[in-house]
Chains A and B, each alone.
Chain A
Amino acid sequence: MARITLDHIRHAYGPKPSTDKDYALKEVHHEWDDGGAYALLGPSGCGKTTLLNIISGLLTPSEGKILFDGTDVTHLSTEKRNIAQVFQFPVIYDTMTVYDNLAFPLRNRRMPEGEVDKRVHDILSMIDLSEWAGRKAQGLTADQKQKISLGRGLVRSDVNAILFDEPLTVIDPHMKWVLRSQLKRLHRQSGFTMVYVTHDQTEALTFADKVVVMYEGEIVQIGTPVELFERPRHTFVGYFIGSPGMNFMPAAVSGSALVVGDQQIPLEGQPLTAPNAKLELGIRPEFVRVAREGMPISISQIEDVGRQKIVRASFQGYPLAAVMSEDTEIPADPRVTFEPAGLNLYADSWRVEAGGQQ
């Protein structure tokens, strides 16, 4: 178990990076707590796998240092870093039994057989595979195999961190859900630092204490699921998290109000922005109220999704989505209001923190 410090890390795959564009991973400078559950979330090509490989030691960063509990491990090999990793598809030793698969990392480290037996049985019951112990690993289902590869990480009590590289890719939708909740439980039981790479927001939000959202090679926000939802620091986080994503519309500041089209939306206080920045108003569909009062909109579509419905509308020529409970009635002449708590202002895609609605 360890605290992971990423000290001014940058990485480029090309030999001589000069501009910012050459870096697959732009500067990362963060510290991750011991025993935390972190998710790296972002679309493919955003640099999350690069960052994971830097932590696991498969890649040496072009610049910067990585420290485990304050010890520099930048140039240590994977095996010396004492980490475990679960890959996209299950990596198991086909010819061994489930038991031997779990014992393998311990036996390689010359642990006495008695202790091995104890550890392996602990882990077997933890991952619910006790009755499969004597079976050949080959014939198991994908989720059982994935649990074995996870178990091989958990079995070592000294690992600094367990890394997950999109571990649920090949798992059936139903088993995904089961495994996800088991993973959460295992994290609490074991107390290992876990880093989980995924492009699926549900996986990230349910698993992690802290979600690290990455976009085009940089970390755009690190926060709890609630923070990501309520206060996205970057328009990308707004789009990417939540379903449907955040509504954005170009806006201008006039006095203490935002102007969208010919509508004025009052703000609490004057935001401080550079005069030539591109300003956008962002509001989550959950904070949009459709009623008889407010600003005019025209509704184009209503989608029924279980207990909620999504209203697709046009507001001042910009698309606007609203989420409301199933039984809310939509008036014939619909109007809209924005809850002040849900208003966010973005300048050049980054959230304006100062001044306004903190």
Chain B
Amino acid sequence: MNKTWNNKAWFLVLPVLLLVAFSAIIPLMTVVNYSVQDTFGNNQFFWAGTDWFSDVLHSDRFWDALVRNLIFSFVILAIEIPLGIFIALNMPKTGIGVPVCLVLMALPLLIPWNVVGTIWQVFGRVDIGLLGHYLRILGIDYNYTQDPVDAWVTVIVMDVWHWTSLVVLLCYAGLVSIPDAYYQAAKIDGASRWSVFRYIQLPKMKRVLLIAVLLRFMDSFMIYTEPFVVTGGGPGNSTTFLSIDLVKMAVGQFDLGPAAAMSIIYFLIILLLSWVFYTVMTSQDAKS
């Protein structure tokens, strides 16, 4: 759509601007402020320059959490995106069962995140959980509170459970927008099932898949509540992701300086990713 140039449109945007400025800019300034100062208590602050930043960037703790977070996000994407596509492709397109399917699939998305944690905490426990109990019966030594691998598996399965539906729903929305004629033409052209996927369905899903990949990447990169409830970041530090570490540092230990510096580094990473996301999205919008 060709838009008209009108600077008065700023008045329409003003309420959003003020509200978000209040909730975003002021807190961010506070963070920046802390990140360059040191305190010995009793509200006295000293200029600390970039010390906190170099501290954070030289601490194994930060890099470990970052690497864990990247591995986690990568594994999540590698599982959820193909699985989501597969389920969406095999979703029935018509019938009274379709809305029921969609509602049931969307259900995990609307459960408070700590309750998601609770559900899996309970579900996986060896003594009282369905999953833990049956794994024990099958002779699998599973205990997510003791074994780091089990903890990782639990957190990943939980995330797959929690968020795959988002991918499914996005892909499904892309798929139902393909007119029947495309499938008929493909049949007439003698296309194989793979060709139909490769040349008709995948191109149509590209935009929504992009949204899915990036939303899932961002959100898994910021994950806090669910693993915190299930594992508390443990055993050891094995499931301590960036957010968990940050909250531990800021609220638990009240190390404001390093926490603020880490927040800013964290935020800059996110900013960079958002920028990539936004650029790719708008170039897609421009093309279509």
Which positions in A face B, CB cutoff 8 Å? 56, 58, 77-79, 83-85, 87-89, 91, 93-96, 104-105, 108-109, 149, 152-153
B184 at the interface (CB under 8 A from A): yes
B189 touches A105 (CB 8 A): yes
Interchain CB contact (< 8 A) of B199 among A77, A78, A93, A149:
A93
Contact flag A79-B187 (CB < 8 Å), given A93-B199, A95-B199: yes
Contact flag A88-B181 (CB < 8 Å), given A93-B199, A93-B200, A95-B203: yes
18 contacts between A and B (CB under 8 A): A56-B188, A77-B187, A78-B187, A79-B188, A83-B188, A85-B188, A91-B184, A91-B185, A94-B203, A95-B199, A104-B189, A104-B191, A104-B199, A105-B188, A105-B189, A108-B190, A108-B191, A108-B192
CA distance A78 to B189 in the complex (A): 10
- Residues of chain A contacted by B195 (CB below 8 angstroms): 104, 108
- Residues of chain A contacted by B192 (CB below 8 angstroms): 108
Within 8 A of A (CB), among B153-204: 179, 181-182, 184-185, 187-192, 195, 199-200, 203
Contact flag A78-B188 (CB < 8 Å), given A93-B199, A108-B195: yes
- Residues of chain A contacted by B191 (CB below 8 angstroms): 104, 108
Nearest first, the 5 A-B pairs at minimum CB distance are A108-B190, A105-B189, A87-B181, A91-B185, A93-B199
Interchain CB contact (< 8 A) of B190 among A85, A93, A109:
A109
CA distance A153 to B187 in the complex (A): 12
- Residues of chain B contacted by A84 (CB below 8 angstroms): 188
A87 touches B184 (CB 8 A): yes
- Residues of chain B contacted by A78 (CB below 8 angstroms): 184, 187-188
Q: What residue of chain A has the Cβ atom nearest to residue B288's Cβ?
A: A138
- Residues of chain B contacted by A89 (CB below 8 angstroms): 179, 181
A151 to chain B, nearest CB (A): 12
A91 touches B181 (CB 8 A): yes
> Which among B188, B190, B199 has the highest number of chain A CB atoms within 10 Å?
B188
A171 to chain B, nearest CB (A): 16
- Residues of chain A contacted by B179 (CB below 8 angstroms): 89, 91
CA distance A96 to B188 in the complex (A): 17
CA distance A108 to B190 in the complex (A): 6
B203 touches A85 (CB 8 A): no
- Residues of chain A contacted by B185 (CB below 8 angstroms): 85, 87, 91, 149, 152
- Residues of chain A contacted by B189 (CB below 8 angstroms): 104-105, 108, 152
B190 touches A105 (CB 8 A): yes
Q: What residue of chain A has the Cβ atom nearest to residue B189's Cβ?
A: A105
B94 to chain A, nearest CB (A): 15
- Residues of chain B contacted by A152 (CB below 8 angstroms): 185, 189
- Residues of chain B contacted by A94 (CB below 8 angstroms): 203
CA distance A77 to B190 in the complex (A): 11
- Residues of chain B contacted by A83 (CB below 8 angstroms): 188
CA distance A93 to B188 in the complex (A): 13
Interchain CB contact (< 8 A) of A79 among B181, B182, B190:
B190
B190 touches A91 (CB 8 A): no
Known: A88-B181, A108-B190, A108-B195. 18 other contacts (CB 8 A): A56-B184, A56-B188, A58-B184, A77-B187, A78-B184, A79-B188, A87-B181, A87-B185, A89-B179, A93-B203, A94-B203, A95-B199, A104-B191, A104-B195, A108-B189, A109-B190, A152-B185, A153-B188
CA distance A97 to B182 in the complex (A): 17
CA distance A149 to B192 in the complex (A): 18
CA distance A153 to B185 in the complex (A): 10
- Residues of chain B contacted by A153 (CB below 8 angstroms): 188
- Residues of chain A contacted by B199 (CB below 8 angstroms): 93, 95-96, 104
A85 touches B184 (CB 8 A): yes
- Residues of chain B contacted by A104 (CB below 8 angstroms): 189, 191, 195, 199
- Residues of chain B contacted by A149 (CB below 8 angstroms): 185
B173 to chain A, nearest CB (A): 18
B187 to chain A, nearest CB (A): 5
- Residues of chain B contacted by A105 (CB below 8 angstroms): 188-190
CA distance A94 to B272 in the complex (A): 31
Q: What residue of chain B has the Cβ atom nearest to residue A53's Cβ?
A: B184
B185 to chain A, nearest CB (A): 4
A204 to chain B, nearest CB (A): 21
B262 to chain A, nearest CB (A): 42
Q: What residue of chain A has the Cβ atom nearest to residue B202's Cβ?
A: A95
